Structure 1
């Protein structure tokens, strides 16, 4: 029996906050839309060969539109194509952005832990922003923060390999 070897890329989308009073940009993005964007960038940069290479194991396993953190699974031999394509994404739905790979792993468990850690830091950063600047338009109570942390962790842990 042959075992398929995959890599999991945990990434973050950082939207440009220029001219936004709250300091955070919100773009509604679904998993199928994100997968389509990544596939299109692979096609642009690596052609049909690159697209055909990644399609066997390529899957967007998780994406949170609140913290803009996601996990992508791809075959081990072709993870560098996905990483490159993510790096070349400059606009999503007309909003300027930058995509950073936070963690690369051979198991989904380690990627889940990296995503949970990053989600926690993002949620704490948002609450600090809300506490520091009451006029920012972000009002988050301690109960809401705890609920967001729990929901984030539960949704990431519920991923199947």
Structure 2
């Protein structure tokens, strides 16, 4: 199983190195593009294939293990791989909604500053729009809290 993770890591590392190489030597990009295109395509195929192999071969290792009788009697939960993945899954809504709120607040904040400099009496209205954009992050946080309560 570890060899698949290593294969995926090497594929990602190869893509990063190729990107840096093309960024640092743009004058040679046309000359080596014929070599890079098949190499990057091969790395992408290897990465997707390794992901599918991890999904097929590793599905039994990520399922939650049943609790032992002693731990259930004491009220102690054993941390399994499945529980760890469930906690990560509960944090994903907060992460994605925070990224979305950041993307939304940037242009709205810039437009708000421009509107306030032209017409200072629009401050309240622009703060409402900014608050609506920030609300996206709060919705994701609420969903994460609700998901954590289900665990």
When normalised by structure 1's length, the TM-score is 0.28
Bigger fraction of residues in strand = 1
Q: Which has the higher contact order (CA 8 A, sep 6+)?
A: 1
Bigger fraction of residues in helix = 2
When normalised by structure 2's length, the TM-score is 0.30
In terms of Rg, which structure is larger?
A: 2
